[in-house]
A = this chain, B = another copy of it.
Amino acid sequence: MPSKQTPQRQPLSRTAIVSAAIDLADLDGVQGLSMRNLARRLGFEVMALYNHIANKNELLSMMVDTVAEQIDEPSGVEPLQAIRANAMSTRAVLIKHPWAAELWLKHLPGPARVAQMEFLLRAFDESGLSKDLAHHGFHAITNHVHGYTLQEQSMTLGSDPEEAEDAMHAFIASLSPNDHSHTIAHVHQHLDGSTSSSFELVLDLILDGLVRLDGQ
């Protein structure tokens, strides 16, 4: 009888490889993803992968772009509402795949990301903002979405929320109360959960600021 060592052995293909890589990164983080690792999970030897993809870099690019396909492009709403909803959806996708925000930065956009860029830039174009403000607004919004999510994730890097809370307690315990009272108070605000969602507040602050600047 054939051995049942390999959990699955679908025929190899670009999409099968990318999809398995995404699963693996969701489980172990992107640093737990090696070519040998991935091949084993698929039931093949390492070098079999190279018949379908050029190298690991290409694989990582495809992973981000595949994940970007999930981003909503809401239609039938005001441009500023479309921008806001698209930003929220991008953020949701980046949270769902915590490895994606970092790779998004390091890799050139593929088709799905280009489509998302085009959607967002069109919404800005139709928003009535001046050309210059639309340009800056695009960067302000994308920077906020990606920067905020990245910063947030870096604090809980590869750990459950419970571990993250312990890390915060350990961090403030290491500070001298005299010299660092504001920092300690700030971290306590996080632990108390007293601060509402900063992300949406700043998102709206930027959107409102753009509209106001344009009115001047």
Contacts and interface: CB of A to CB of B under 8 A. Distances in A.
Nearest to A107: B154
B144 A151 contact: no
Given A132-B195, A198-B136, A205-B213, A147 B143 contact: yes
Interface residues of A, number: 47
A144 B150 CA distance: 12
A206 B147 CA distance: 15
Interface in A100-115: 105-106, 108, 114-115
A142 interface: yes
B195 A135 contact: yes
Given A105-B154, A136-B201, 10 more contacts: A106-B157, A117-B186, A136-B198, A138-B186, A143-B148, A205-B206, A205-B209, A205-B213, A206-B209, A209-B209
Interface of A: 105-106, 108, 114-115, 117-118, 121-122, 125, 132, 135-136, 138-140, 142-144, 146-148, 150-151, 154, 157, 171, 175, 179-183, 185-186, 189, 195-196, 198, 201-202, 205-206, 208-210, 213
